[in-house]
Structure 1
């Protein structure tokens, strides 16, 4: 039995799709009715990272588990899951982390949380695999409304390059590690796309695919922070602005070969992702 947490999210849903039909699969979500992947051998169960009892129940009989948490303001959630997994006898945990944990210069709240979460899993004695992606290409969907209505993309640090990765590639690596842990145990996979692109370049690609001119507008830090505060708690909004600033010195532009090495095919490009979405 494989357990997928975050089963209604960007990566968890894609992993569930890839594992569908390969064997018993359990999807953990707050509301099982929201699980989008269904079929023979797939069980959706309710659970909550703040409820250790629900985690122990969900992890009973599980061999491998995908751990996807999303709240840096609730660090106990990772610890709750790891403790429950150890109690249930889980033999392998694949954790979605972030490439920033490997950068000593990254000290924002979100990166510190991911570092601590990785360390908690290491210290547990459970076999682990860490997935450390750069920013998701799908993050550019946040531009969709302004592109549709105004033909404009607004973002911070438009010329900073980021080796963004297609979430489908993250899911492909995760599914492979979950289904056959073998060589993947004890590995930390840095996952990037095949090129480091700036927001300005991404805007150009979107304009070409949409066959319409798009304009890039550079946000100030204050403008970006105001927008983020409308969506996130203040500590997270500040952490995101801090993280974005780190990209100005090239800290997020290094391309890694890991996707190709694990999957035996090239990583998908941003143009691939954008054309498909």
Structure 2
């Protein structure tokens, strides 16, 4: 039995769906009502990482775990790693981030993920780290502006990023969870091209069949918008990450998706075509 956490998120949802299509899977969910993966082969345990009773129930009889960190301020990974070791889990696959292996990345979120990886290494449970670059699905945050005014607003419009489709990250994770010989390895995962926000906007415009305008935010305006949505340390981490992207630190393309899954990584235009409905019609 494989346990999937984060199954309402971009990658965890896809991992749970792929596993459920092949056999039984167990899901630990804080809000089971938000799960989109259902069926006779999907066992749901309601609970969160801080609820040790729920965590123990979810881990009973489990051989492998797909772990998604829930919070940068809570010891989520330590809780899961400790409980996994005590439950006899044989493989812990953690969704991390590519930045952890980049020495110039020192923002809060990256530091937390580095610490989480070290915690898992020290837990005694055989591990694999899946380290994706920025998700293509992050552009869904542009949807309100696209629907209301046909405008995308973002920092550093010409800064390239080798963003990756969450479906490809999930395919790598499932390959690792169900295959052999991946213990003790870390896999960086990117899309097939480095693309800027301005280029993404143009591709979305083509898919939607209507013009979109890109407006580059200055750092002060971006910071204000982030602080309206996130705690200050998290907002600052996003700003630091954007600065690294503007310096070209996120443009490298790696071949992991094709090497592990045998299928080419999806470009942004494919993701955009598959998700055009999420951006809706322009409001009058």
The bucket for the TM-score relative to the shorter chain is over 0.9
Q: TM-score scaled to structure 2, two decimals?
A: 0.94
Once the 2 structures are TM-superposed, how far is the Cα of residue 72 of structure 1 from its aligned partner? 0.7
Partner of 1:88: 87
CA distance in 2 between counterparts of 1:223 and 1:243 reads: 16
CA distance in 2 between counterparts of 1:234 and 1:172 reads: 34
CA distance in 1 between counterparts of 2:182 and 2:269 reads: 29
Given the superposition, is the C-alpha separation of residues 245 and 36 from structure 1 closer, same or farther in structure 2, using an over 3 Å criterion? same
SS at match of 1:183: coil
Partner of 2:59: 59
Once the 2 structures are TM-superposed, how far is the Cα of residue 137 of structure 1 from its aligned partner? 0.2
Equivalences for residues 104-119 of structure 1 within 5 A: 104-119=103-118
Partner of 1:225: 223
C-alpha contact (below 8 Å) 1:31/1:46 kept by paired residues: yes
CA distance in 1 between counterparts of 2:50 and 2:231 reads: 19
Once the 2 structures are TM-superposed, how far is the Cα of residue 178 of structure 1 from its aligned partner? 1.3
C-alpha contact (below 8 Å) 1:101/1:115 kept by paired residues: yes
Partner of 1:249: 247
C-alpha contact (below 8 Å) 1:21/1:40 kept by paired residues: no
1:33 aligns with 2:33: yes
Once the 2 structures are TM-superposed, how far is the Cα of residue 213 of structure 1 from its aligned partner? 1.4
Point out 4+ residue stretches in structure 1 off by more than 4 angstroms.
Answer: none
Aligned with residue 208 of structure 1, among 206, 209, 216: 206
- The more displaced of 169-178 and 26-35 is 26-35
Given the superposition, is the C-alpha separation of residues 157 and 36 from structure 1 closer, same or farther in structure 2, using an over 3 Å criterion? same
CA distance in 2 between counterparts of 1:31 and 1:154 reads: 31
Aligned length: 275
Partner of 2:280: none
Once the 2 structures are TM-superposed, how far is the Cα of residue 14 of structure 1 from its aligned partner? 0.7
Partner of 1:153: 152
C-alpha contact (below 8 Å) 2:45/2:54 kept by paired residues: no
CA distance in 2 between counterparts of 1:225 and 1:54 reads: 37
C-alpha contact (below 8 Å) 1:154/1:217 kept by paired residues: yes
CA distance in 2 between counterparts of 1:33 and 1:142 reads: 23
C-alpha contact (below 8 Å) 1:127/1:186 kept by paired residues: yes
CA distance in 1 between counterparts of 2:256 and 2:21 reads: 26
SS at match of 1:111: helix
Gap regions ≥5 residues in structure 1: none
Once the 2 structures are TM-superposed, how far is the Cα of residue 32 of structure 1 from its aligned partner? 2.7
Equivalences for residues 156-167 of structure 1 within 5 A: 156-167=155-166
